[in-house]
Structure 1
């Protein structure tokens, strides 16, 4: 049965997003504005946009659902993500902003090509293929979340729900580009933080406190220990916490670093992001724990709906509608970023690099917008299975970017010796190892990002030993980048 109050709330929210898209449509004049906001983003927008685009629907659906089913041991995901977030901001943000501006790069693949002076063009082309492949999977996970949300709220068919959510996201991303995405993320990140903190606190008291939750955990045989069950808990901890490795290779997060306006704002953005991620991840775990006591009969297949059910249980429809919009915020703030980065790769790394090297800025602008639509359609098709697991889809895509790009980002910013040959060998090795590991079913024992990441970086170190960087222009540019980050 459709709830009128929730429907009106969501309608107002959609209108707001359309206004944002139209507003920034008028302020977006060229491809750099459309893809990176003219590299002029402020500290608050950069921080909240980076974190909102990072966490996606899995923060309010996937992670609480995993905790509800498997217990507190799933908290290692959050611990790993917090460590990865902070290391990414502290080690990568400033250096990547300087170096991508220095090389005039709008995408990670174009940065890799320029940074290493790749004469073959393979770094850029392969990087673009990897970006499109994993982001299409990633975006489909968000559309699954949108489908589950709309299906639960408005009693409409799942496929219709996916199409409705996808249409709204495509429209404001298509219109306003990076500026619309970032400023809508600023609002969405704030709304997510409010919802993820208020709901579990009130639900905790509503369910009867820790005694009721403990009793439900015992009844459902759910462990209250942070140490995973099984013969090799240390392997399980490493596998779960290894999510943090993925941060170094996520294009939609790294794009925020590339867009920040002033280097002095990086440290302030780091603090803002750190506070946001601690609160968000911590309370997402609490949602799952409280959900055990509030919904002891909830099946594992429906566990990712726990936050939706919790809101409807304790809030009136008007307040509940606003809080449920936070779930949509989490979903949209990631998908819009993924669509934009995928559009960047199609425009800069395929169309301009291969199809039309003489394309005008106006033509690239048009191709960028058209790419958003094309990628969205593919992602919608992949999201049509209502039994898809959000956390599973995110896990694979997240691991793919971490294994393929993470070591390259680290080596490109911290190693003078790295060559295009080692970068290409590492990218290929990391991707192949990750895919094979997952296909062979070994991911059940160790998250595939671990072997993929390690294989990538070890191959790069090995190739660098035999083929060290000797190009004086590249070495000089690297030294300039280091000097600029120290100012």
Structure 2
């Protein structure tokens, strides 16, 4: 039996399990509401783990450990920023958004919510927000396809084009068939696999080096800078890394999990579960990269893979330190991270096309069955476009992915935050905030202070625009204020 055979078997079993969940979810999908939001039926555990898994892509097991391995503990500022941002999102937005969407025409998507919440009869908000989602998420999906392809390519020696389809096929299938329930249920399995891998791996690495004290001594002997939280960073750099947390308020795939919870009461326990999961996973990812420094310092003869690419640190440690069957399970965690994020992004794109454009403009009276099938077709269309973009992994379009987190955070984040907390906000305020936030992100790199992450000025300028334009014009109608007040009263109820 070759080394790759146990890994191959593990991967195949894992993928078949995800597809099986998709077909089970098919049986529970009766309406478009079911397909897009699972009929708002998610309990606290599924809500928490699905939100976490849809957030953390292959970056969690490759990008972050790789950055720590190459530069030391100073790269963990971004993890701290993400934890703070995620907690604030759960605490301020999650429960309110769940209730507000129900009170505003049972909105199924963010564009749907914006249109109803701000009484936008022109449908301009719906169109602009749907287009922003489609542009940024199609690029995001392409990056996910590339990450999956690279995993299959390096693990099984496939050529890139074969790996491209192998990595994407299962995700497309279970998302297309089972919709939101399949994505949420598989996310729960994938989140469990990710936390197992990220807790077990650093423990085994520390044991292999000789214990915690010996590991720290080796890292300290190599370079004291590896232990310096401020290595090479000034105040602006630290603020920029922490600023990543602002992105949570505007990520459609994460916000959709809040909207799908069975009630706002579920959110409280989901927040605790979700934050514990996130802290353990991010802490584990940092530990993999950090203690990986010690392992490969002691075993330079095994460091060829990480010398070529630091982001392979988790893959190399799994292969070296574990039985091939266990290594296969651990490497499946990378696939889980990629699949969980890609699947929810495909579904959000599908919902934007189906609910906000197809139903909103072409077939207002379309039946539920028709909408479900159109939604499935849109998943396939977006997936094929993403695969086409990913066909050339060197394509510059994939470099725009860094804009996407900031783009969503600045364009949607302030609109969502003010929209669920401030009843005086208006359509013009929302429109100004969305446009100014997005434009600031797109223009900041070329014309702004490049060292400051563009989400920070984007979020700030969008927030100012929302307040100014809302106060300049006529306030919301009495009916809109009553709906907002009723939703807030429900949220505050015990």
Q: TM-score range by the shorter chain?
A: over 0.9
d(CA) in 2 for partners of 1:392, 1:283: 27
Equivalent position SS for 1:227: coil
TM-score by length of 1: 0.95
What residue number does 2:73 align with?
72
Q: Following the alignment from structure 1 to structure 2, what is the Cα–Cα distance between the partners of residues 261 and 99?
A: 14
Aligned mates of 1:184, 1:255 — CA distance in 2? 16
Matched with 1:225 is 228
Separation of aligned partners in 2, 1:304 and 1:384? 21
Partner of 2:458: 452
Post-superposition shift, 1:364? Answer: 1.2
Q: Which moved more, 1:203-212 or 1:407-416?
A: 203-212
- Partners of 1:130 and 1:447 lie apart in 2 by 20
Which residue pairs with 1:200 in the alignment? 202
| Structure 2 SS opposite 1:264 | helix
The aligned counterpart of 1:436 is 443
Measure the CA separation in 2 of the matches of 1:352 and 1:112: 16
**Residues of 2 paired with 1:303 and 1:438: CA distance?**
26
SS of residue in 1 equivalent to 2:228: coil
Q: 1:381 & 1:456 partners in 2: Cα distance?
A: 33
Deviates more, 1:293-302 or 1:140-149: 293-302
For 2:51, the equivalent position in structure 1 comes to 50
CA distance in 1, matches of 2:255, 2:287: 29
Cα distance between partner residues in 1 of 2:255 and 2:149: 28
Distance apart, 1:382 and its partner CA: 2.5
1:5 aligned residue:
6
Distance 1:301 1:404, change over 3 A: farther
CA deviation digits over 1:342-388, x for unaligned, max 9?
10001011111222223222221111001101111122222234458
Contact 1:139-1:335 within 8 A present in 2 as well: yes
Please give the alpha-carbon distance, in whole angstroms, between the structure 2 residues aligned to 1:219 and 1:392.
33
Contact kept, 8 Å, 2:219 with 2:226, in 1: the verdict is no
5+ unaligned residues in a row in structure 2: which ranges?
Answer: 298-302
Match of 2:377 in 1: 370
Q: Distance in 2 between matches of 1:292 and 1:124?
A: 49
Residue 117 of structure 1: aligned partner: 119
Counterpart of 1:149 in structure 2 is: 151
1:321 aligns with 2:338: no
Q: Which position in structure 1 is the counterpart of 2:363?
A: 356
State which of 424, 435, 447 in structure 2 corresponds to 1:417.
424
- Structure 1: how far apart are the matches of 2:132 and 2:308? 30
Conserved? CA contact 2:427–2:470, under 8 Å: no
Q: Could you list the per-position Cα deviations for residues 139-166 of structure 1 after superposition, in whole angstroms to 9, with x for gaps in the alignment?
A: 2222222112111110111232121111
Give the Cα–Cα distance (whole angstroms) in 1 for the partners of residues 362 and 145 of structure 2. 30
Conserved 8 A contact 1:148-1:161? yes
Residue number in structure 2 paired with 1:477: 483
Contact 2:389 2:395 in 1 (8 A): no
**Equivalence for 2:310:** 303
CA distance in 1, matches of 2:152, 2:176: 22
- State the match for 1:262 in structure 2: 263
CA distance in 2, matches of 1:94, 1:448: 28
1:242 aligns with 2:243: yes
2:390 — aligned with what?
383
Counterparts of 2:484 and 2:332 in 1: how far apart (Å)? 45
| Rounded Cα–Cα distance in structure 1 between residues aligned with 2:355 and 2:80 | 36
CA deviations 1:438-473 (Å, max 9, x no partner) are 355854x11111111111111111112212524111
Instruction: Give the deviation of 1:227 after TM superposition.
Output: 1.2
CA distance in 1, matches of 2:239, 2:220: 25
In structure 2, relative to structure 1, the CA distance for the partners of 1:10 and 1:441 (3 Å cut) is: farther
Single out whichever of 136-145 and 363-372 deviates more from structure 2: 136-145
SS where residue 174 of structure 1 aligns?
A: helix
The answer to whether the Cα contact below 8 Å between 2:35 and 2:372 also exists between their aligned partners in 1 is yes
CA distance in 2, matches of 1:439, 1:339: 30
Matches within 5 A, 1:271-290: 271-290=272-291
Q: Identify the residue that residue 346 of structure 2 maps to in structure 1.
A: 339
Q: Which is further off, 60-69 or 269-278?
A: 60-69
Cα 1:423–1:96, aligned 2, differ >3 Å: closer, same or farther? Answer: same
Question: How far apart are 1:258 and its partner, in Å?
Answer: 0.4
Unmatched segments (≥5 aa) in structure 1: none
**2-structure distance, mates of 1:428, 1:3:** 49
Name the CA distance, whole Å, in 2 between partners of 1:269 and 1:208.
Answer: 38
Is the CA contact 1:128–1:349 (under 8 Å) kept in the aligned structure 2?
yes
Tell me, what secondary structure is at the counterpart of 1:349?
helix
Is 1:463 equivalent to 2:469 in the alignment?
Answer: yes
Residue 95 of structure 1, CA deviation:
0.6
The structure-2 alpha-carbon separation of the partners of 1:119 and 1:217, relative to structure 1 and needing over 3 Å to count, comes to farther
Give the equivalent residue in structure 1 for 2:26: 25
Q: Is the 8 A contact 1:217 1:293 kept in 2?
A: no
CA RMSD of aligned residues (A): 2.1
Partner SS for 1:226: coil
